[in-house]
Amino acid sequence: MRIFNFSAGPAVLPTTVLEQVRDELLDWRGRGMGIMEMSHRGKDFAGVIAEAEADLRELMGIPANYKVLFLQGGATQQFAQIPMNLLAGRSADYIVTGAWSKKAYKEAQPFGAVRLAGSTEADAFTRLPRGDELKLDPQAAYLHICTNETIHGVEMFDLPEAPAGVPLVADMSSHILSRPMDVSRYGLIYAGAQKNIGPAGLVIVIVREDLLGKASAITPGVMDYAVMAEHGSMLNTPPTFGIYLAGLIFKDLKAQGGLTAVAQTNAAKAGKLYDAIEASGGFYRNPVELSCRSRMNVPFTLANPALDADFLAEAAELRLSGLKGHKSVGGMRASIYNAMSLEGVEALVALMQDFAARKG
């Protein structure tokens, strides 16, 4: 019996997809071997990666003038790779709304001039900055944001208005594919795979073509977006198994009705969990402002932290896993990505209600 896995990542994957992977692990389509054993230069894998890209383009409505790259190193490597490719001797603006955008801002600093255009750290990252709090440079090479902060549970539903001509660069790692997004509003989108896409190790970069070819002279070829685009993400051996599994998940999302249908399910799941928190009379609390509460990562604390261990123990008995909050925030965190079922959220809500009735 599988658990309900609320881990922030690596995270739950669709059972039907995992069952297909199991069935194809030793023999993919009668080839007598699995995807992990195939040459990335062969005809079979060329079809796998092309189909994965086509399905992702369809799901997200990616315009033709954007390249889709399947890379390695996760989103954290992109913190350095982005300024290496886009800074081009200029400065860049960063809006810091949580732990991950703060790390991106810090990681970019050795590569040139970066500016802190706005931050909500003084408010413990429980809200997004208002427009009048942002100090944006109209000459910036790009404006970097994190559209969903995994640790603090803050999600952007309305984007900041970048100055005309300044590309918006977004870390979407923890909510990509959770709802429709207008890709044309961004210059570059990147996302680590281990939340809504597939296994850890793969990162997807979606970059507008006019931003290619700006890499600094010290950028290695394998980290140069233009070079990787020219080689179809295969300058070196790509993470073939991760790309294959991601492709299966893209097909699964299409079968569900696409991102509009997925978004409705995600809103229903998040609504049930937030309603349970608000109806607890203060026994549970989510500190994030209502307008920017994440649908993917829901942190909450108990009024009495001494009860945390008991709550987690009871959750484990019910096969509810991965609920301990990040060490920098404490409390609990339920990550309810696409593959988390409504049944799983309902099981968590039932525990929360019962626990509060007994311990409150």
* DSSP 8-state assignment for residue 3: -
In DSSP notation, 128-191 reads PPPGGG----TT-S-EEEESEETTTTEE-SS---PPTT--EEEE-TTTTTSS---GGG-SEEEE
Number of residues written out for the chain: 360
Mind listing the pLDDT tens digit for each residue in 138-181? 999 999 999 999 999 999 999 999 999 999 999 999 999 999 99
Contacts of 283 (CB under 8 A, 6+ apart): 302, 303, 356, 359, 360
- Residue 211 — pLDDT band, cuts 50, 70, 90? very high
Q: What percent of the chain has pLDDT over 70?
A: 100
Q: What pLDDT, on the 0 to 100 scale, is given for residue 62?
A: 98
- Residue 1 — pLDDT band, cuts 50, 70, 90? confident
Q: What pLDDT, on the 0 to 100 scale, is given for residue 360?
A: 87
Q: What pLDDT, on the 0 to 100 scale, is given for residue 50?
A: 98
CA 21 centroid distance within chain: 22
Residue 346 has pLDDT above 90, yes or no: yes
Residue 83 has pLDDT above 90, yes or no: yes
Q: What pLDDT, on the 0 to 100 scale, is given for residue 38?
A: 96
Q: What pLDDT, on the 0 to 100 scale, is given for residue 313?
A: 98
Residue 299 has pLDDT above 90, yes or no: yes
- What pairing do the DSSP bridges indicate for beta strands 91-96 and 154-155? unpaired
CA distances from 119 to 102, 123, 345 (A): 9, 9, 32
Q: What pLDDT, on the 0 to 100 scale, is given for residue 103?
A: 98
- State mean pLDDT over 194-219: 97
Q: What pLDDT, on the 0 to 100 scale, is given for residue 39?
A: 96
Q: What pLDDT, on the 0 to 100 scale, is given for residue 26?
A: 97
- Residue 311 — pLDDT band, cuts 50, 70, 90? very high
The three-state secondary structure class of 57 is helix
- Residue 297 — pLDDT band, cuts 50, 70, 90? very high
Structure tokens at 292: 């920017």
Q: What pLDDT, on the 0 to 100 scale, is given for residue 258?
A: 98
Residue 184 has pLDDT above 90, yes or no: yes
- State mean pLDDT over 333-342: 98
Query: Which residues are identified as catalytic?
Result: 100, 171, 195
Q: Which strand (E) or helix (H) includes residue 330?
A: none
The three-state secondary structure class of 261 is helix
Q: What percent of the chain has pLDDT over 90?
A: 99
CA distance 81 to 37: 29
- Residue 232 — pLDDT band, cuts 50, 70, 90? very high
Residue 328 has pLDDT above 90, yes or no: no
